[in-house]
Structure 1
Amino acid sequence: MKFKKLSITLLTLILVMVLSFTILAKEAELRIYHVNDVHSRVEEDDYAGSMGYAKMATLIKEARREKENVMFLDAGDTFHGQTIANINQGESISHILDLMKLDALVLGNHDFNFGQARLNELAEMSNFPFLAANLVREDGKEIPYTKDYIIKEYDGFKVGIFGLATPETAYKTHPKNVEGLKFADPVKIAQKSVDQLKDKVDVVIALSHLGISEGSDYTSKMVAENVDGIDLIIDGHSHNVVESGLMVNDTMIVMAGEYSKYLGYVDLSFADGEITDLKANLIPREATKDVEEDYIISTVVDRINRANEVITSQVVGETAVELNGARGNVRTGETNLGNLIADALRHKFEADVALTNGGGIRASIAKGEVTQGDVITVLPFGNTAMLTKVSGADLKAALEHGISEYPATEGLFPQVSGVKFSFDGDAEPGNRIKKVWVAGEKLDPNKIYTVATNDFMKAGGDGYEMFAEAPILSEAGGLEEILIEYMDANSPVAPEVEGRIMAE
C-alpha cells in the first residue's frame, strides 16, 4: 500500500511538473499594428499618397481572423487635420477608430488643437484610452482624459503600454489649448513607467509622440539610450519612415511615416518568459492596390462626407497653377502657396509684413477650381489673423528663429510677404540671416513695422516669443476665411516663387 501510494504521489508530481513546464514553455505570438501622424487622412488619396482607414481596416481584420493575438496602436496626431475631422472636431475619427477596435492612442501635439474640454469629450466618446504618462496638471489634479498606461494579456503573457507626449506640445498647439498643463521630462517619466510596470508585465511598450528628429529637445532615441527595460517604442511626431525598425541599445523603435501612407506592424514572439523574436515591417500604400476597402469603414466615411458636402463643396476661387503646400517644401523654403497665404494676410491688414509658420500649411491644392473644403484642408487649425507691431530688430529675430532648425522640416519655418531675406543655412543658428529688405528697402532695426501673423505665433507658438509681448493693433477672422476672401477677389490666382527667401 505504501509503495502504491508513493507511486501515485510520484506520478502526480511528475504530471504537475510536466504541465508546469508545458505552460512555461508555451510559445505565444502577438502582431502589433501601428500608425502615426495620420492627421485625419481618412480616405485613399492618389495626390497625398494615403492608404486610408478602410484598407487598413481590411488588413487588420484579416490578421484578426488568421491570428489569435492582434493589437492596434496609434502614435498620435490623429483627431485633427482634414475637413472630415475638423468640421465635427474629431468625432468622426473617434467613431472610425472605435469601429477598427483601436487598443490605445498616445496624444500628439495636434490632438490638443480643439482644446482640453473637447479632448475630454473625445475621451468620453471613444472606447480606447488616451495615454500620456508625462502629462500633468500644474495644480496637481488628475487629468480626466488620459491614463499613464494600460496592461493587455495574451496567452498568459502581459504587455504594458505607457504613453509619452512631446513637450513641444506647449508651443506646437495654441498656448490656450494647454493652459494649466505641464509636459514632464519624457526620459525620467519613461524610467518611472518601466519601474511601475516591470513586475506586472512581461513586455513593455512605449507609445510615443516624440519622434527622432535631431531638431527636437526630446526624442525616442534619447529614451531608448537612457532607459532600460523598454522592449519596443512605437513612435510618431517626426513623420519618419522606419522600414524594419531602428535598434537603439536593446530597444526597437518603429514609425510608419505619415498621412496613412503606411501601415506598420511588429511581430512579437514570446516563450519561457522572454521575447524570442521581434520583427518590424511596413505595408506601403502601393502594396494595397488589390486590397478591398472595408465595407463598414468606407460606408461610414461616405456618410460623413455627404453630411459635410453642403459646406465643403462650395467653390471659392480658381488657381491657374498647382499650389505647393507639401510638408517638406513649406518647412524648408519659399513656396507659391506660402506666398499666396502670406499675401492674403498682409493684404487684409495693409501691413508692412506678413509672416506665417510653414507648419500651419497642411496640404497642396491642385490646378483648377478651389473649394471651401480645399482651403480648410490647407489651413485646418482655425487660427485667427492678428496685426501687431514690432521693431526691425525683433522682426529680424523672428526670421532668425524661423530658420534656426533648417534644413530640418520643422513647422516654425516662415512663409512671408512684404519682406525678403537671404540666409546661410550652414551658419550657427542665431547668426544665419545675411540680408533683409522690407518693401525693397534695407531693414532698419530701429524702425517699427506692422506685422500680420496668426494668433498661434502671436501667442509665442513655435517659439516665436518675440511676438508674445507685442501690442495687438487689430484682429480679423480665420486664416481660411481670409484666404477664401482673397481668392474670391483675385481668381484665377497664379502665385510664383519670387526669391523672397534665399538660401546662400
Structure 2
Amino acid sequence: MFKYIFSLLLLFVGFIAQSQKVELLYFTDAHQIFPVNDVEGGRGGVARLKTIADKIKADNPNSLLLHGGDLCGGVLFGGMYKGEPMIEAFNDIPVDICNFGQHEFDFGVNHTLKLLSKSKSAWFSSNLKNREGEVFAGLPKYLIRKIGGMRIGFIGITDAMNTTRKSNRVIQEDLFVAISDVIEELKSVDFLVLLSQTSLKTNQEILQQFPDIDLVLTEEQYERESNIFYRGSVPIISTAGNMSSLAKVSIGKDKRSLIEIIPLDSSIPSEKYLRDMEVYYKKDMDLKLSEQISYLEVPLNFRNGIEGESVAGNLISDAFREYYDSNIGLINGGGIRADVPKGVFTLKSLRSLLPFGNKVCKILLKGADLKKILKKYARDTNGQLLHVSGIAYEYYQRQDSIKVQWKGKSLNDEELLSVSLNNYLMNKLKVDFEVLVNETDKNSIADYEILQQYCAEKKSLHPELQGRFKIIRE
C-alpha cells in the first residue's frame, strides 16, 4: 500500500512540475512568407514554422508562440504584399502574441490598422502612443498570461520609428520612460519578458536599469545567425532574420531559462496548407516581376553605398531628377535594399532595389538649407548617406564642413534649387522648404515606377562612379 501511495505521489509531483514548465517560442522579422533561398535548401518560411510550433504545442500545451516584430515592408515581398499574407499565415499557425516592428508602419497608419483588424494574434505596445498619449490603436500597454501555473508578464517596445513613414498618429515614447510606466504594474508576475525591437546595447542598458526583467527577446543582430547574449544571468535572445530560426525557451518560477535554437531549414518538413500558400505567392510574385525593363551592363551593389558613392545610388537619383526635371535628385542610402547582378534588368530587379514604394516628391529650398541636409546625413555611418544627382559634395567630419559644387561652381547659399526626393526623406527634413509636389499629388508616383520609366527608355544601363560625393572622416 505504501509503495502504491508513493507512486501516486511521484506521479502527482511530476504532473505539477510539468504544469509549471512553460515554453516560449520566439521568432522575429517575418518579412517573406516563403523561404529565403540564399543558402542550400533555403531558410525560414511559414510552413516550417507551423510544423515546429504544432509539434512543441502538442508535446506541451503550456506553450506560447511570440513574434518580435516586422512582418511588413523591409524586403521585396513585403513591399509588394504589404504584410497581408503574413497576417493570414499567422492566423493559421497560430501566433499568440505580436510586438510591433517599425516596418509595420511603412505603408501608413491606416494600413497598419487594416492589418490589425484582420489579425487574430494579441498585439500590444508599451511605448507606441497616439496624439493624446494613449496606447496606439487602443491596444494594451502590457500583457499578462496565466499558463502552466505561472503568471507571465510581457512588455513590448519598438525603436527606430524614425526609419519608417512619419505620422503624428503614432509616436515613439522613450523606451526607458515607457518601461518605467508599466513595470510597477507587473511586480506580481512570476516571470517578466521584454519583447524588444532595439539594439543589443540598448537592451543591456534596459536590463541595468530594470533588473526585474527575466528575459529579453529581441530583433536579429545578424541575418543568418542566432545569438544568445547575457547581462548577468538574464538572456538576451536574438533569432536570425526572416524567421530563419525559432528560439524555444523553457521557463519556470525559479527564473531559470533553458534555451534551444531551432533552425528553420530544409531538415524541417513543411506543413501542407501553408506550403501551398508559399508556392502560390512565389509563383504570383515571379509572374508579376518577370517583365524585362532593360539590360544592366554593370552589377549594382547596394552595400557600396553605406560608406560612399554607389552606381545604384547614381542610377536612382538620376531617375528622380529627370522625372521632375529638377535641379537635384536625392536618395537616402537606406532606401536602396538589394544587390542586382549584371544582365537582364527585370521588374523584380527594380522592385528589389526599391521595395518600400515611397512616393517621389518635389521641393524648393535654398542652397544653405541643402548644405545643412547633406551635412546631417554625411555624419551617418549606418547607411543613410545621401546619394545625389546634379551636384557634387565633399564633407570633412573633423571640421564639420561641406563643399558643394553645382554647375561647376561653388553653390551659393541663396540659390533656389528644385529637389526630387522620396516622401520618407522629405518628411524627416528639419529645414525650410516649399513643397511643389507632395505625396498625395496626382503627379507623385512610387519610386520604383519612376525608375522603371527611366530604365525602359534606355536599351542598356551603364551607371558609373563619377565622384559625386566624398566623405573625409579623419
TM range (shorter): 0.7 to 0.9
* CA contact 1:82–1:376 (8 Å) conserved in 2: no
TM-score in terms of structure 1 length: 0.81
Q: 1:319 to 1:230 in 2, by over 3 A?
A: same
- Look up the match of 2:245: 263
Where 1:32 maps in the other structure, the secondary structure is: strand
- Look up the match of 2:440: none
Give how far 1:402 is off.
0.9
Mapped pair 1:316 → 2:293: yes
* CA contact 2:87–2:115 (8 Å) conserved in 1: yes
Give how far 1:275 is off.
1.8
Distance 2:15 2:182 in 1: 28
Where 1:274 maps in the other structure, the secondary structure is: coil
Give how far 1:386 is off.
1.8
- Look up the match of 1:359: 334
Percent identity over the alignment is 22
Q: Which of the numbers 110, 113, 117 marks the counterpart of 1:120?
A: 113
- Structure 1, unaligned stretches of length 5 or more? 1-11, 214-218
- Look up the match of 1:73: 66
Distance 1:497 1:281 in 2: 43
Mapped pair 1:46 → 2:77: no
Give how far 1:470 is off.
0.6
Mapped pair 1:459 → 2:427: yes
Q: 1:123 to 1:331 in 2, by over 3 A?
A: same
Mapped pair 1:276 → 2:269: no
Give how far 1:236 is off.
2.1
Distance 1:189 1:424 in 2: 38
- Structure 2, unaligned stretches of length 5 or more? 438-442
Distance 2:361 2:425 in 1: 10
- Look up the match of 1:486: 454
- Look up the match of 2:178: 189
Distance 1:433 1:97 in 2: 50
Across the aligned residues of Structure 1 and Structure 2, the Cα RMSD in angstroms comes to 3.3
- Give the stretch that moved more between structures: 122-131 or 298-307: 298-307
- What letter is aligned with 1:374? S
Q: 1:22 to 1:484 in 2, by over 3 A?
A: closer
Q: 1:279 to 1:349 in 2, by over 3 A?
A: same
- Look up the match of 1:216: none
Q: 1:41 to 1:494 in 2, by over 3 A?
A: farther
Give how far 1:306 is off.
4.1
Q: 1:278 to 1:193 in 2, by over 3 A?
A: farther
Give how far 1:453 is off.
0.9
- State the aligned residue count: 462
Where 2:404 maps in the other structure, the secondary structure is: strand
Mapped pair 1:447 → 2:415: yes
- What letter is aligned with 2:430? E
- What letter is aligned with 1:481? E
- Look up the match of 2:165: 174
Distance 1:67 1:51 in 2: 23
Distance 1:448 1:349 in 2: 16
Q: 1:501 to 1:291 in 2, by over 3 A?
A: farther
Give CA-to-partner distance per residue, 1:93-150, whole Å, 9 cap, x none. Answer: 1012222321222111110122222222211211112221112222356643633222
Give CA-to-partner distance per residue, 1:321-373, whole Å, 9 cap, x none. Answer: 322234xx443332221221111111212322211112222222233223323
Give how far 1:172 is off.
2.1
- Look up the match of 1:36: 28
TM-score in terms of structure 2 length: 0.85
Distance 1:202 1:404 in 2: 45
Mapped pair 1:155 → 2:151: no
- Look up the match of 1:498: 466
* CA contact 1:352–1:449 (8 Å) conserved in 2: yes
Distance 2:436 2:39 in 1: 40
Where 1:365 maps in the other structure, the secondary structure is: coil
